[in-house]
Structure 1
């Protein structure tokens, strides 16, 4: 009888241990992976913080990796997260074309993908969360024309070539200004969404063609760099950025920047996690989720 009871005890302990292991395995499916193009930009830091806050609120683990604006680093980040056993991948692409290779890594492992802010070209994803960048470009152009009485010579500082945000913001901007006899785009050059590059490109444009009265930058970082170059050259121009980062809002309040087309990166990060959790629970989510824009002025 004692031997029988001992056997039952061992069996119970085994079942308990096995159940514990199974529970841990189930809990591991609560892990979300997020790959962000760069964390050397306040906009994407806000996106990261929004994602972390929502994950904590919902009781899910999130692992966030920085691609440092490098498509090869982006792919290795995705491979790393797949090895860690994530259930959903949230990705903010470095480049809308190159990201297809990274997304393929996740999809080959049956991991659904949510893109944020920048879309992925040539590959199907479960959901895309972004502002209407075309509309934002139109808002920026219309603001400049309204402020300058419908007549303007404008410099356009473009983002990273190949990024959907660059393409869409530029498209919206040009839909308003192209064909308007009273508007001339005197220069249109990439500065890669980077403040220092915005400064350098603006310096070169001022030297080569100083006859302009407005600047539209595809993001706030480039706009802030452009302002620094304009101030150094004692050149006055209306500057409009895009994103609504805190530095830009402060610059608008101080009068250095005329406006910024404000996105809500923290909301994007939060929505991405919220919908990732829905996927983990087996729920259906929309293919496209828009995030509102607003024009911030003094």
Structure 2
């Protein structure tokens, strides 16, 4: 995969997301739509314990579900060897991507020097620790899979309320719809008692507060030029992924919202027309999540703990 053209990485990732959507499955919601739907889902991590971000979260969540991995830790073939371990023969790796910029120095005929930042992206392969033998103790991390009724402690939900409260978003309750009203700059939710579980209430709030970050006084997310007539569907895509990222970090199982099935055709249209669209949406979702954490007194790692 070394030296793989940037366009091919975009195509491979986009085609994978499209394939899931064509089967009616949203990759960012898949980890909670399984037999273990009440199991806490964790963000995927690298060999060194650093969290994956953006599009790589979606890719590795999907891979873990498709292949039945319980661990959230991934590493390269070389990293396994450096630990004295080895990838089992016949195992197939999973695609992740790396994006960065390189600086190119350009000098014109008059001797004027200009520095140009050129973006690049490449794909590389990682393996789940469950595909690797002889890993030393401490490198095989597996989230708990046994679910106990009402296992999520009440203080976790209380802390979610504190988290959202620190954003200072105006949240109103009433009616039977959840939405963000940009003109009024308010989040509207049904009364909490209208939800089946506290987790459902918090996850829907996460979705709408992700929309709230789009306001011009915050992230000023203007999608019209990028997505044209499909900007509304793109914003909904960002909110779904942003809520999934938030819920994973807060330890809340997100709500599967049936009304969003109506967006599938719109999302497919966006992704099929533009191979970079899913990367753009995931990037906006990650920035929304980062922004909400920036409003907290604690760091994201302290919140997750």
Report the TM range for the smaller structure's normalisation: under 0.3
Higher Cα radius of gyration = 1
| TM-score, normalised by the number of residues in structure 2 | 0.24
Between structures 1 and 2, the one with greater strand share: 1
| TM-score, normalised by the number of residues in structure 1 | 0.24
